[in-house]
Amino acid sequence: MLSREDFISRFGGVFEHSLFIAERAYDTGSIKEPLTASGVHAALAAVFRAASREERLGVLRAHPDLAGRLAISGELTEDSRKEQAGAGLDRLSPAEHARFTELNSAYVEKFGFPFIIAVKGLGKDDILSAFEVRIGNGRDEEFATAAAEVERIALLRLTAMLPEAE
């Protein structure tokens, strides 16, 4: 079994900048060998769901804007950089970038956290379309949608790191 420190080092970034999720999952004893993507995800997601609304909001706020300031300055986590590049968000035209910037600002102003979507398998047009639909949601609906997307992102990251059970 991985030590607590090794587990946190390896999986602490699965939920963006939110080490407490890996710490609590390990401390509850819900991490079982052999480590699989679905098993670790279940343990981490349970902690995320059990966290206070304010803690979950903190996890949402830890995510970067899509094609935003951190992407431009090269300050994204490696996972976020790869995910955004895979969706083509590192190759936007000036007009597309302006639209993302406008939507990011309006979304954060309305909801208090950045627009979050698991971008794997999506292109920039898919993302813009989802952005434009979801900005019309109510706060509670969008909080739930964003939290579900955070869990989906975590599962995708874990799937890239760990095998599934035989």
**97: annotated active-site residue:** no
Enter the tokens of residue 149: 């997307």
Q: pTM higher than 0.75, yes or no?
A: yes
- The domain ranges of the chain are 58-152
pLDDT of residue 132: 92
Greatest Cα pair distance, the chain, in angstroms, is 50
pLDDT of residue 73: 53
pLDDT of residue 70: 47
Distance CA 24, CA 14 (A): 14
pLDDT of residue 119: 86
CATH number of the domain at 58-152, please? 1.10.3330.10
Q: How many CB atoms lie within 10 A of CB 96?
A: 16
pLDDT along the chain (166 residues), means of 10: 93 93 96 93 98 97 72 61 74 86 93 93 91 96 97 94 74
pLDDT of residue 87: 74
Q: Which of the residues 17, 41, 63, 97 is marked catalytic? A: 63
